[in-house]
Amino acid sequence: MRTLRPRTTPTRRRRNGPIAQTHVPFVGLTGGIAAGKSTALEALRRLGAATISSDAVVHELYASSEVRDLVVERWGADVAPGGTIDRAAVAGHAFSSPEERAWLESLLWPRVGARVAAWLEQARTQDPPPPAAVNEVPLLFEAGMEAGFDATLVIVAPEGLRAERAGARGHAAVAERTARQLSQEEKAARATYVVVNDGSVEQLEAKLSAVLAKLTR
Ligand SMILES: CC(C)(COP(=O)(O)OP(=O)(O)OC[C@H]1O[C@@H](n2cnc3c(N)ncnc32)[C@H](O)[C@@H]1O)[C@@H](O)C(=O)NCCC(=O)NCCS
Ligand SMILES: Nc1ncnc2c1ncn2[C@@H]1O[C@H](COP(=O)(O)OP(=O)(O)OP(=O)(O)O)[C@@H](O)[C@H]1O
């Protein structure tokens, strides 16, 4: 995927002072299935960060006729009953073979990258600047995207808790998705920051607040 760093560092005029250089760190948030990525992203939003989820962008893209029509052309009208994409049906095709999965990823990832780049440019003009601009990207390391971020943050959770939460979700093809992902340990080893989500949401938020403090120090 493309690098999302801006070409210039924005400048900002302080209310009673000279022009200040600001740099809003661009943070990639990732983790395994049901580790708590979205819960962490929401907590970071409450803590003042600008946030965007690549999963949510993918879901928006399916609502566009361009993406819907390309998916229907490949896998047939059954994946969009009544003209609306059925993501479980798409998952059934996408995870049926590495070729089908690669086709879907090559369709979506460049479009997600373009939307995130536009969002980042906008987030960096916010006044006051947010403490960080955080992008939740499930396949951050698998896609080799880490160089595009100022820092990466991995959410990990005990395997049992994750399995329980993933089961409750009812996603299609969970085993096939997991097989395409690095293990939690591998993700954690590559990360700038690791947060263990093994307590309450409030405890998770406190740990994320400490990470934000380190980022902005
Ligand atoms: C397969 C799809 C239709 C399933 O939709 P669904 O609503 O069931 O799941 P959702 O999009 O919310 O994703 C949930 C989780 O599944 C896992 N997952 C999604 N896509 C992939 C993938 N290509 N490989 C491995 N795991 C994946 C991630 O852990 C993600 O957080 C959808 O995930 C998709 O279009 N994926 C391909 C694009 C992609 O790679 N997205 C992830 C990074 S941008
Ligand atoms: N600390 C926590 N306490 C209680 N429930 C939690 C906690 N963290 C996450 N959950 C719950 O676990 C489920 C999975 O969390 P979440 O959706 O944040 O994970 P995810 O990594 O984004 O999942 P996915 O891979 O499906 O996109 C959700 O129902 C969420 O509400």
Task: Summarize pLDDT for 173-184 with one digit per residue, the tens.
Answer: 888 999 999 999
Q: What is the mean pLDDT of residues 135-157?
A: 97
Express as a percent the part of the chain with pLDDT over 70. 90
Q: Provide the ipTM.
A: 0.96
Could you please state the CATH topology (level 3) that the domain comprising 24-215 is classified under: Rossmann fold (3.40.50)
Question: Domain limits of the chain?
Answer: 24-215
Torsions phi, psi for 125 (to 5 deg): -100, 0
Q: Does residue 18 carry a pLDDT above 60?
A: no
Distance, CA of 210 to CA of 217 (rounded, Å): 11
For residue 177, how far is the Cα from the chain centroid? 15
Mean pLDDT, all residues of the chain: 91
Distance, CA of 49 to CA of 198 (rounded, Å): 22
Number of H helices, E strands in the chain: 9, 7
The token pair that represents 91 in the structure block:
């998952």
86-90, 160-164, 184-188, 208-212: which has the minimum mean pLDDT? 160-164
Question: Which residue is closest in CA terms to ligand 1's atom 10?
Answer: 55
Instruction: Burial-class residue 136 by CB neighbours within 10 Å (0-12, 13-18, 19+).
Output: buried
Q: For residue 139, give the ligand 1 atom closest to its CA.
A: 43
Q: How far is the CA of 37 from the centre of ligand 1 (A)?
A: 13
Residue 168 or residue 57, greater confidence: 57
